[in-house]
Amino acid sequence: MAKIILVSKHVNATSWQLAQALKAQQHEVVLLTSYGETPRDTSGIEFMGYFKKWSFLEGVRIIPGLFGLQPQILHVLLDDDKMNAAQMVLSTFAKSHPTCVLTTSLLNIKNGLSRRNPVRYLVEESDIITCPTVETLGQLRGLDVRSNRQGRGILPPVLDLKTDQTDEAIDSSELPLIANLKKSPYVVLPFNETRFNPDSDYFLRLRAVAQKYKVALWGTYAHWTLRDRKRFAAWMAEFQCADRWVLTGPLSAPVTQQLLSGSTALMLAGQNFTPVEMTEYYLRAIQSHAVLILDTRQTSVHSDLWKNTINCWVLNHSQLQKDLIKLLAKSHLRLPESLSEKLAEDRHLIDSSMNELNRLYNKALNHLR
């Protein structure tokens, strides 16, 4: 198999799980990252924690040693549509190297690929480009791609169900929250609102859910003004929901798993998350056997997994409130199929994207020979 240098600013769930998945496919993987990012357990993956500033000069200095390793593939992992000077140097050198395939994984297009954005030119010059969804890949149409052989594919953030997130110690102060929630059915909503706005879609959905189930707002409003906190409490009380909501605050991983496993559902529908954030929520829900409520835009990430009314509930994004009211009218939200059990039996649902990446690798390498 190939020798791959994976370039990522951080050793996070996305880069680490991709490195592990590539190694599991028998590739030789070197993870080039920031100084001090090397984890305690490298699992046989070679780490180069080199960059302190990701500057042009650092990029130039590492080139001789890096390509002395004779990589066949340089794979640049971008969390969004920005890149730094060192990434530009590495990708330029890889493209000029006759035996190296330049691969770019663009995980999120936030600001757009204008002519002033260097990511645009990285995408145009890459031998392989991957995006997490069909929609994101569609945003690359019209770019002036240099090679008619450029490979394109869908590569969502790796969904690694083997990752154990419960090693962290439990904070005993968190346990009363779970005990109190278990007294009645509750739905979990991630809570990231910067302020209270009673006319926003988020709070209208929250209120609708609270009129049927207790709502556990997964997050904190410590950043809110005291006035906003009082207005929110009064607004909920106005609609007879004063005792139908609770803020969880920050939670340890094992208590988060208890929160999700004891819930009626985890509702993500209507919220704007990046593909990386969506994958993290999916992972936690699947590991906790939680029922997921998604919308049609969100199911584009790991699209092969989702079956509406079978292993999740999917609301139409264009008529979210209407579909939510219909869903809440049901006597229960139980589903006939457990996604975690299905994935344990059928690994191809997760492995298919890695197999597609291998196909793109092999095709590009064959063109170099």
The predicted pLDDT at position 214 comes to 97
Listed ranges 27-41, 88-102, 163-177; the one with the highest mean pLDDT: 88-102
The predicted pLDDT at position 350 comes to 67
CATH number for the segment(s) 172-345 = 3.40.50.2000
Contacts of 236 by beta carbon, 8 Å cutoff, 6+ apart: 207, 210, 242, 244, 245
Whether 114 shows a pLDDT value over 80: the answer reads: yes
Burial of 149 (0-12, 13-18, 19+ CB in 10 A): exposed
Query: Does residue 224 contact residue 192 with C-beta atoms inside 8 Å?
Result: no
Supply the pTM of this predicted model. 0.89
Query: Mean pLDDT, to the nearest integer, of 91-98?
Result: 90
Q: Which amino acid is at 347?
A: R
Average pLDDT of the chain to the nearest whole number: 91
Domain ranges in the chain?
3-155, 172-345
Question: Using one digit for the tens of pLDDT, what is the confidence trace for 314-332?
Answer: 999 999 999 999 999 999 9
The predicted pLDDT at position 348 comes to 65
Give the side-chain half-sphere CA count within 13 A for 268.
27
Determine which helix (DSSP H) or strand (DSSP E) holds 227, and give its type and residue range.
helix 226-238
CB atoms within 10 A of CB 54: 20
CATH number for the segment(s) 3-155 = 3.40.50.2000
Report the SS3 class of residue 237.
Answer: helix
Q: Do domains 3-155 and 172-345 have the same CATH topology?
A: yes
Whether 266 shows a pLDDT value over 90: the answer reads: yes
Q: Among candidates 259, 201, 260, 209, which has minimal Cα distance to 236?
A: 209
Question: Using one digit for the tens of pLDDT, what is the confidence trace for 119-174?
Answer: 999 999 999 999 999 999 888 887 878 777 899 999 999 887 766 555 667 777 88
Question: Using one digit for the tens of pLDDT, what is the confidence trace for 104-113?
Answer: 999 999 888 8
Q: What is the edge-to-edge ordering of all strands in the sheet holding 46-51? A: 46-51, 28-34, 3-7, 73-78, 101-106, 128-131, 151-154
